[in-house]
Amino acid sequence: MDPQSANSHSGADTAGLTAILGHQFRRPELLERALTHRSLAKELAAVGSVDQHVAAGDNERLEFLGDAVLGLVVGEALFQLHSDWREGELTVVRAQLVSRQHMARVAAAINLGSYLRLSRAEERSGLRSASTVLSNTMEAVLGALYLDGGLDPVREFARSYVLGDAAEQLAVELRSGAALGNFKSALQEHLQAARLGTPVYKVRGERGPDHRKQFLVEVRLKPDGGEPGIPLARGSGSTKKDAEQDAARRALKRLLAAADRGGAPAISASDAE
């Protein structure tokens, strides 16, 4: 296979995408790299291509940066737009807006898959429309946008496409009480998006008379294919469900705080009290 043949699966011209992003790249190679799946980078390297757009590699490093920038601008926007929301409400909505599922929907809405640069094999496999690839690529594009233009263009895109109608719908749900306290779902989405595993809940104790009973629940992290390990947090409530929600809220708060600090996501056993 020659480099030109491999390049036939490099995706649509990016002019339409830059118009949607509302930013003219001074370093267009950043956007090209953000759209380059690792499969194409490996394929072109294997055939000895000197394609300037993949010389710096695939989009995985930009995906890492974009994820961090996305969390910042969404948190900032929610803080500014909803001064009446409590910390827990802000935490739940941010987790939903930056989740892999929502970012895949954002990517699909702007037809991002058509711009993705894939290997021939992955093109045939249908990877261009895979939700995980779409969400990862969307984060990589935001990372490139930040490196080229700073936070302002990322803020504008996030307000139009990431928050947009979705944030307003969540605001309606919060006011009606439908989304309040849904910390278990938010925690699960966060852990799945970070590829850390799934939460597992266990009752650790009960106290008080039957009519005023309090339950103590611990949530632990269960890595994919492993046993429940590191305790994330403990919560209490008048029912097991309430205690689980409280534990999930505390765990999510600590995980997001650790991510913002750039630290490890795991919480020690002493922190889980």
What per-residue confidence (pLDDT) applies to 269? 40
**2 is an active site residue:** no
Please give the mean pLDDT across all residues of the chain. Answer: 79
Q: Please write the tens of the pLDDT for every residue from 1-22.
A: 333 333 445 556 888 999 999 9
Residue length of the chain: 273
* Catalytic-labelled residue, pool 139, 189, 218, 246: 139
Mean pLDDT over 178-192 rounds to 72
- Please give the share of the chain, as a percent, with pLDDT higher than 70: 75
Residue with tokens 């710096």: 56
What CATH number is given for 183-272 in this structure? 3.30.160.20
CATH number for the domain running over 3-176: 1.10.1520.10
Q: List Cβ<8 Å contacts ≥24 apart for 18-24.
A: 20/110, 21/141, 21/145, 21/153, 21/157, 22/153, 22/156, 22/157, 23/145, 23/148, 23/149, 23/153
Beta bridge partners of 201: 219
DSSP category for residue 112: G
What is the residue extent of each domain of the chain?
Answer: 3-176, 183-272
Instruction: State the residue for tokens 């995706």.
Output: 11
Identity of the amino acid at 113: G
Task: Tell me the pLDDT tens digit for each residue of 119-163.
Answer: 776 666 666 778 888 999 999 999 999 999 999 999 999 999 999
With 0.85 as the threshold, say if the pTM is over it.
no
Instruction: Using the predicted structure, report yes or no on whether residue 84 has a pLDDT greater than 70.
Output: yes
User: What is the mean pLDDT of the segment spanning 204-221?
Assistant: 87
pLDDT at 267: 46
Q: Which of 51, 58, 67, 246 is catalytic?
A: 67
As a whole number of angstroms, the distance between CA 134 and CA 109 comes to 11
Q: Is residue 32 among the annotated active site residues?
A: no
**Contact between residue 66 and residue 143 where contact means Cβ atoms under 8 Å apart:** yes
CA-closest candidate to residue 45, choices 33, 37, 55, 35: 55
As given in the structure block, the two tokens for residue 159 are 């307000």
Question: Span 33-54, mean pLDDT?
Answer: 64
